[in-house]
Each structure stands twice: as C-alpha cells, then as structure tokens.
Amino acid sequence: MEEKLFWIGLLVGLHYYLTRVFTEKKKFASERFFRAWHAVFVALMAFIAALLLIVTVDNRSGDVVTSSLFSARQVLYGAAAALAGFAWGWWRRPAGQPGTVIKGDLDWSETVFSAVLLASVVMYLFVQAFKIPSGSMRTTFVEGDHLFVNKMLYGLRLPYTGKKLLAFKKPGRLDIVVFQFPSSDPSEIQCGGPQYGKDFIKRVVGLPGETVELRDGAVFINGAPLAEEAYVQYTDGFRYPPAPGVQRAAYQAYWEKGMLGKMYSDHVRDNFGPVTVPAGSYLVMGDNRDRSCDSRYWGPVPASLIKGRAWFTYWPPSRMSVPE
C-alpha cells in the first residue's frame, strides 16, 4: 500500500507543479484553458478517490494478486471515475474568478500531496497498520485483530532494492514478524490460492544456519528440543506421519524451492525436516500449528522480505495488548 501511496503522491505533486508553471505563464487568462485544467483537477481527485477505494476493498478481501503496482481492474475503476470527474468539471463551471478557483485547486493539490507522501513515508519506514486475516496465529492473534507493525527495528528498507539500512537488530527466535510472501511468480498456488505480493504474519522459529526438525509436532533445533512453547495451540488429536522415502538432500532442495506442501501436503505438518535454514533466511510458523500454512509447506523467508515486528494490538479495545 505504501508504494501505491508514494506514486499517487507524485502524481498529485506533478499536478501542483504544472499548475504553478501555468499560473506564471498566465495560461488561465484563457477561459477554455482554465475550464480544461480545472476539469483535470476534478478528474485527478476522482481518480485517486476511486483507486484508493478499490485498492482498500481488494486488500481487505485478499482476492487480487498482481505483479504490477496496480491491477488492470483497479486502473479501470480509477479511469472511469476520472472520465466522470472530467466531464463534471468541464460542464459545471465553478463560481468565482479563474484565479480564485485555480488557487483553491492548488491548495487542495498541495494538501493531498503532502498528506499522501507523508503517509507513504511513515508506512514504508516506520510503522504500518496490519489486520489479521486468518486463524493461523490463534490465540496470540485472532481474525480481525488490528495491530501496528514496527518497521524500523530490522532496518530501513530502500525502495525496490531489497536492501536495508540502520538495522537495530536482526529477527530473533520467537519474534512475530510481518513479511511479504516469498514468491516471484504471481500465478504460483500455495496454501490453496495465489499468495504473491501478500503480507503474512508468523513467528520466527528457525534462524539462519540452524537445522530444524519437527517430530510428532515437537520442534527440534540442531537436534535439541525447543523449550516449551506456551504460545502454541494444537487443535487436532492426531499427528500425520512423515513424508515417505525422501532423501535428505532432495528434501532440502524441495523445501527451499517451496515444493514440499505441493508434493506431500499435510505429511510435512507434524513430521518435518530436518532442513537447514539458508543464510539470510528464516523459518517461520504460525502459533496455531495444526491450522497454519507456513514455512513447513512453502519454504524459508529471506530477510529482505521481512517488513517488521508485531508491535501491539490496538483494535478491538478488549484485545489491546503487546504480543509475547
């Protein structure tokens, strides 16, 4: 969302800049040019409003997966609103002198530009709101919980580079992290559907270089059992047997390529590994172990895709808390 707001802010900034240029060149002395440019302003505001509305709806439903900044559907809705806005702005001449009307348009452009750009910077670098979409983290989080994510802790992300600066710390074991799903293929099916570009929330279990294994649901790190996981919930009374007859080297390769869930389904849920977490990556799992599609199924999460650590739940008020 923050990338979308950034480019929307730049679009409004361009309108603000051109309006200043046209004002200096006295272009608005022409009634026709004045009406056309005011109509452009109305079209731009309508485009932004419609685009943000449909993006918000798509994000909440989780149905739209695209490798581009905006989906064709989102742009189509925005374009339709822009055409309607342009027609309305052209045929309904605003009251007042051209200079006064254009000054009002300029003030609105400056306000929207500043607000949108500031919001995108804050969301990208510092803190972001996140809504829990599923029950995979029960009972730490439940469906519909709203929380803030600390995006500074693991470093400031440089846009479109996958690099981070000024990291205060690296993700640690048991940290609850929000990350972009590790897939480069928008058509890839994982966890019952396409997950490309979506944000997930899970708990870090395996660190880079560690060997992780599950035996009948119990987690082992480098051959030693992990301390009691008080936050974990098991809902099934049975354990799936391990995947049959897979050599360790092949198992590791399948896991790193995100193929285990596709090949062995729930046979990796309770008896998994052993696998070695690659350098610069993490193994994550949901607290609701029997109802979580996580690293057991689709592989490790590169550090570059981790956006931040869960900070605190702010909604609903009855569930306000700092996660453990």
Is 324 inside any structural domain? Answer: no
Do 56 and 199 belong together in one domain?
A: no
Separation CA 201–CA 223 (nearest Å): 26
Do 202 and 298 belong together in one domain?
A: yes
Catalytic residue IDs? 136, 202
Phi, psi of 203 (to 5 degrees): -105, 135
Do 137 and 254 belong together in one domain?
A: yes
DSSP code string of 100-159: HHHHHHHHHHHHHHHHHHHHHHHHHHTEEEEE--SSTTTTTS-TT-EEEEE-STT-EEPT
Within 10 Å of residue 187's Cβ, how many Cβ atoms? Answer: 9
What does the pLDDT read at residue 63?
A: 47
Do 242 and 311 belong together in one domain?
A: yes
- CATH assignment of the domain containing 255: 2.10.109.10
Is 112 inside any structural domain? Answer: yes
Give the predicted TM-score (pTM) of the model. 0.78
Chain segment 191-226, per-residue pLDDT in tens: 888 888 888 999 999 999 999 999 999 999 999 999
Sequence letter at residue 1: M
Do 170 and 312 belong together in one domain?
A: yes
What does the pLDDT read at residue 68?
A: 58
DSSP conformation class of 227: P
Do 311 and 234 belong together in one domain?
A: yes
Do 10 and 140 belong together in one domain?
A: no
Chain segment 284-299, per-residue pLDDT in tens: 999 999 999 999 999 9
What does the pLDDT read at residue 130?
A: 87
Domain containing 119: what range? 2-125
Is 115 inside any structural domain? Answer: yes
Do 237 and 264 belong together in one domain?
A: yes
DSSP code string of 249-306: HHHHHHHHTT-HHHHHGGGGTSSEEEEEPPTTEEEEE-SBGGG---HHHH--EEGGGE
Last residue of a domain, one of 73, 101, 125: 125
Is 66 inside any structural domain? Answer: yes
Is 18 inside any structural domain? Answer: yes
Is 153 inside any structural domain? Answer: yes
Within 10 Å of residue 76's Cβ, how many Cβ atoms? Answer: 13
Separation CA 209–CA 203 (nearest Å): 17
